[in-house]
Amino acid sequence: MGGWGMMIDEPRIRVGLVERRGPLGFVLRGPFADEQGRVWPAGDYSALAAGAAVQVSAAAGGADLFNIGLRLSPVSEASTFVVRGVVIGISFHWQQEQDQEFAGGLQIRAIAGESLLAINEVPLETYLASVISSEMSSLSNPELLRAHAIISRSWLLAQIAPWRDQLLQPTAPTNLTSEAETNGRRIVRWYDREGHDHFDVCADDHCQRYQGVTRIDLPVVTEAVCDTRGMALVFDGQICDARFSKSCGGMTERFSSAWQDADYPYLSVAFDGLGSLPELHSEDDARRWIRQRPPAYCNTEDREVLQRILPSFDQPTTDFYRWQVRLSQEELHYLLTSRLGIDPGSILRFEPLRRGGSGRLILLRLVGERQSVTIGKELEIRRVLSRTHLYSSAFVVEPGKAVDGIPEDFTLYGAGWGHGVGLCQIGAAVMAARGFSFRQILAHYYRGAGIIDLYRTSLRLSSSGDAT
Ligand SMILES: [Zn+2]
Ligand SMILES: [Zn+2]
């Protein structure tokens, strides 16, 4: 595992903005230059796919053909461009088209000779300011925003080549793997971000929501990105795959409980508070843990803290720390048939087969009158047992009144919101409100990781990162 001996320049991220068959309209706001050094004046343009080439015509007149694609770079920093009709919220109910403005370069490529792809080549730090503005409320504590800037930067670099390939251990791949095993009614799946072919990340929720410069209107977010410029989490000389979720429920979870069977020492099971770890070894331990409300950073009902961390917060309850859901036999029947196409008859019991260290179920068997079905991992369990996804898979089940040995319903008592791996956003918000610094927050959630400055250090890391 070698280090680097050279300084690193700020990487440019290639963000896929839109792919479409029809004409693609864009507006240059200020001069740009193409790869032949020709200057393109400000104005309206329209691109069409012409076989393997891209044909671009200017509203002012004239058209040009570009083999494979066109690549425009801003002549001055003040030059931005607008892409018409960018689709946002793909396949969500708020899906819509918007004109969006971007800083950095514009690439338009012909894909498979029939559609056009617009790519924004943007400096990493500019990209982060936009992404964090979309995800976080400007009311958030500055220490929390700094922590978030560092984990977004680390996560991003850990996903994309060449950073991923140079820096991550080959035994711990980070891209999509999915194993669907339906034989014997055993369904074990996990969902991770799939890679993209022509760019590093897309602009939608699939990767991180990115809405260009129109979103960078929050000075406090821009400051948080500037203050932490180039800072990334490292462990053992490699950039951390810095995951995060809404609420761990009092205990953070391992990577392998949510995704493939790889583990990172810095994504470990840890108590989200001061003091020691109440280890969960048995089903009784898990039941005791989940049915209590132990003190932890994310054990808060402070609406102000919650609203700051969840800007588009519209949940009827603020109780993500401990929650309950009742499932009738009718609802279970609906869910199993619609989600899995399986009808096991009335459900007799839930059998927890494997839990992670936070109490999250990794494998769960539903024993029905006719057959049983085993599901995993955590997101698949949450997807199958709810029309909208259960808050988490850290739950224990109490059967309701039985008629002829068949419970009428089941009550799920649960803890936390999300996979629980890495930083707990609600816990981190509470830590920041209590005066912890971003370094203390990151050291708490990414145990043993250090922080490096990518742009100032000639990287020669040995067995562990620097102290936080
Ligand atoms: Zn994506
Ligand atoms: Zn937590």
pLDDT in tens, 378-419: 999 999 999 988 999 999 999 999 999 999 999 999 999 999
- Ligand nearest to C-alpha 201: 1
- Write the single-letter amino acid at 139: L
Record the tokens describing residue 94, joined without a space: 């708020």
Angle at 87 between CA 86 and CA 90, to 5 degrees: 155
The larger pLDDT score, comparing residue 253 to residue 135, is at: 253
pLDDT at 178: 36
- Ligand nearest to C-alpha 299: 2
- Ligand nearest to C-alpha 207: 1
Confidence check: pLDDT of 169 > 60: no
Listed by start position, the domains of the chain span 12-123
Q: Please, is 289 exposed, middle or buried when counting C-beta atoms within 10 Å of its C-beta (0-12, 13-18, 19+)?
A: buried
Which residues have a Cβ under 8 Å from the Cβ of 195 and sit 6 or more positions away? 175, 176
Residue 297 CA, ligand 2 centroid: distance in Å? 6
- Ligand nearest to C-alpha 17: 1
Residue 87 CA, ligand 1 centroid: distance in Å? 13
Q: What are phi and psi of 261, to 5 degrees?
A: -80, 55
pLDDT at 390: 94
Residue 466 CA, ligand 2 centroid: distance in Å? 25
Instruction: Quote the CA–CA distance of 328 and 333 in Å, as a whole number.
Output: 9
Residue 259 CA, ligand 2 centroid: distance in Å? 19
Confidence check: pLDDT of 298 > 80: yes
pLDDT at 90: 54
Q: How confident is the model at residue 247 (pLDDT cuts 50, 70, 90)?
A: very high
- Ligand nearest to C-alpha 14: 1
Residue 112 CA, ligand 1 centroid: distance in Å? 19
Record the tokens describing residue 368, joined without a space: 């029905």
Contact call for residues 433 and 419 (beta carbons, < 8 A): no
pLDDT at 183: 38
Q: Is the pTM of this model over 0.85?
A: no
Residue 430 CA, ligand 2 centroid: distance in Å? 9
Residue 252 CA, ligand 2 centroid: distance in Å? 7
Express each pLDDT in 326-343 by its tens digit.
999 999 999 999 999 999
- Ligand nearest to C-alpha 19: 1
Instruction: Quote the CA–CA distance of 281 and 284 in Å, as a whole number.
Output: 8
- Ligand nearest to C-alpha 198: 1
Confidence check: pLDDT of 463 > 60: no
